Structure 1
Amino acid sequence: MRLQEKRLRQAVQGKTVLITGASSGIGRDVALLLAHYEANLILVGRNEERLRDVALKTGAQIYVMDLREKENRQRLCQEINQLDIFINNAGLSIHRSIYDSLERAHDFTRTMAINYFAPVELMLHFIPLLDVAQGQIVNVSTINTKFRPMAKWAAYQASKAAFDTWLRAVAPEVKHIVSTIYLPLVRTPMIASTKKYEYMPAMSSETAAKRIARLLYTKKKEDKPWWLLFLRFVRP
């Protein structure tokens, strides 16, 4: 897909942009793309080596941390005092039968920690900053939140749907732009552990990054695949 480069540059040049989950996959590609248009990047990720590599390529400020840990979320909030754009990209996917999770309650606590509690806590701090800047949050979500609940996806689907619902409830109140992108399967390291995805069609992380970047100048409330309209099992 082609971007309107002039509009994208106007949207991000000189702006402070925070991206979570930026050490690989979609977050990394968004960072590389926005750096080309002179955004001031703050990147958060768990893999120090990969995150430092992105920083070398983009000149970004980095925070090597696991946002599932409350003390890390608190530290990040304490240190971020000005923000124009927040791209909530960090996430965790689990595909597992409930019978295989009977003694794995942490499957649910860790998905909720990164997919729900982390972005909620960050947003409670960022909302006033984004309001002042008349800025924007882009939430990187999944088409799974539009589907009826599916077997073996309880941990992932419930946690992603929780933040999607929270953000849609918050959106009418805040004084900045709220956008959500509902992505289909994307070829990233996150899906590597699910073997059945190896041969399934998937969007490239570069294409996903461009779709996210497009939201930064179109300011649309949501972006989702057109074909969702034709699936009978999509929730109303």
Structure 2
Amino acid sequence: MEKKLINDHTYGIWERILFQPVFLNFNRLQQEVSGKTILITGASSGIGEQVAYVLADINVHLILVARRKENLQIIKDEIEKKNKASVTIYRADLRIEEELEGLLELIHKSPKGIDVAVCNAGLSINRSVYESLDRYHDFTRTMAINYFAPVKMLLSILPLLEKSKGQIVNVSTINSLLMPIPFWSAYQASKSAFDTWLRSIAPELLQNNVSTTSIYLPLVKTDMIRPTAAYENMPAMCPNHVAKIICQSFYTKRKKYGPWWLIFGQLASTLFRDVLERITATAIKKRGK
């Protein structure tokens, strides 16, 4: 199992500045989640996988969901070698109604209910709108997994989370809080939709003892960004670093996390929107887009 916990992305100077280290108090984490059931979607690789491995030495029940069953089985086998956490895996493409319903049936039949839901599954598309003129499915499939699936899932399990005084963790993106950028319209719209929905209902949930946490992330070295060659040498977070932030939120109940510099990006997005849009349009023109 050790090979999974090794940070396979060594931070350079800029990354050490941009992504400050996180201290994970393992004793507090253990006290908070011991005996609980934690659902993690998108758990077969990247962030979801690393959250599962951080929890491997604690007496928790993990429900790991993803499309790649073989990856889930490997994770289950490695975690259960420790004889601490127990793991239930469920192969599902949450965009498919019948498969999402199957997951919900599994959760509702669980005798211990559910205590934490980590909404991590997602889909990213980097494409000009002019390349999507005959690809309406670019937008329907991103909305399906990034918005509709987690909304339907949470609507179904909210009574269980109320009963356990549970927590919802949304693995979001900094783009939800910044000025939108070209070529990512499908992704940004879908992630922003779920982020807005969750923040909108958060006060209602809090009245019923369900806490919410939104994790706003920059680039993360996962399978999702590999198809975009331009990101190869850009600063990016390590999945294990993000996993520690998520696990820390289990005991701090922090409402949101974002990199320290996000506030400056938000200010720039508000104060200099017109200027930034003109600069972006000029850059696209020079690229011949």
TM-score by length of 2: 0.80
- Whether 1:71 and 2:102 are equivalent positions in the alignment is no
**What secondary structure sits across from 2:56 in the alignment?**
helix
How far the C-alpha of 1:235 sits from its partner, in A, is: 5.3
Q: Deviation per CA, 1:59-100: give whole Å up to 9, x if none.
A: 310001100101111111122121000000000011100011
Q: CA 1:197 to 1:75, structure 2 compared with 1: closer, same or farther past 3 Å?
A: same
**Matching residue's letter, 1:192:** R
Structure 1 runs (4+) greater than 3 angstroms displaced: 232-236
Looking at structure 1, the residues matched to 268 and 172 of structure 2 have their Cα atoms a distance apart, in angstroms, of: 18
Q: Which residue of 1 aligns with 2:15?
A: none
Q: Given residue 157 of structure 2, which amino acid in structure 1 is its aligned partner? A: F
Partner of 2:178: 147
Q: Which runs of 5+ in 1 are unaligned?
A: none
| 1:80 and 2:80 correspond | no
Once the two structures are TM-superposed, the CA of residue 149 in structure 1 deviates from its matched residue by: 1.6
Distance 2:104 2:136 in 1: 28
Q: CA deviation at 1:148?
A: 1.2
Mapped to 2, the partners of 1:36 and 1:97 lie a distance apart of 44
Asked if 2 retains the 8 angstrom alpha-carbon contact of 1:179 and 1:222, the reply is: yes
1:83 counterpart letter in structure 2:
I
Structure 2 equivalent of residue 37 of structure 1: 58
Question: What is aligned with 1:165?
Answer: 196
Matched, 1:198 2:219: no
Q: Can you list the C-alpha shifts for 1:188-224, whole angstroms capped at 9, x where unaligned?
A: 0111101111111100000000010110010011111
Stretch of structure 1 that moved more, 184-193 or 53-62 = 53-62
Mapped to 1, the partners of 2:247 and 2:125 lie a distance apart of 27
Unaligned runs of 5+ in 2: 1-21, 81-86, 272-289
Going from structure 1 to structure 2, the CA distance change for 1:217 and 1:234 (only over 3 Å counts) comes to farther
The answer to whether 1:22 aligns with 2:57 is: no
Q: 1:186 aligns to what SS in structure 2?
A: coil
Q: Does 1:209 align with 2:248?
A: no
In the alignment, the residues of structure 2 paired with residue 35 and residue 173 of structure 1 have an alpha-carbon distance, to the nearest angstrom, of 32
Indicate how the Cα distance of structure 1 residues 235 and 128 shifts in structure 2: closer, same or farther if over 3 A, else same: farther
Secondary structure class of the residue paired with 1:38: coil
Does structure 1 residue 6 correspond to structure 2 residue 37? no
Task: Give the TM-score of the pair, scaled to structure 1.
Answer: 0.97
Identify the residue that residue 233 of structure 1 maps to in structure 2. 268
Q: CA RMSD in A?
A: 1.2
Identity of aligned residues (%): 53
* Larger Rg computed on CA atoms: 2
Aligned-residue offset at 1:233: 3.3
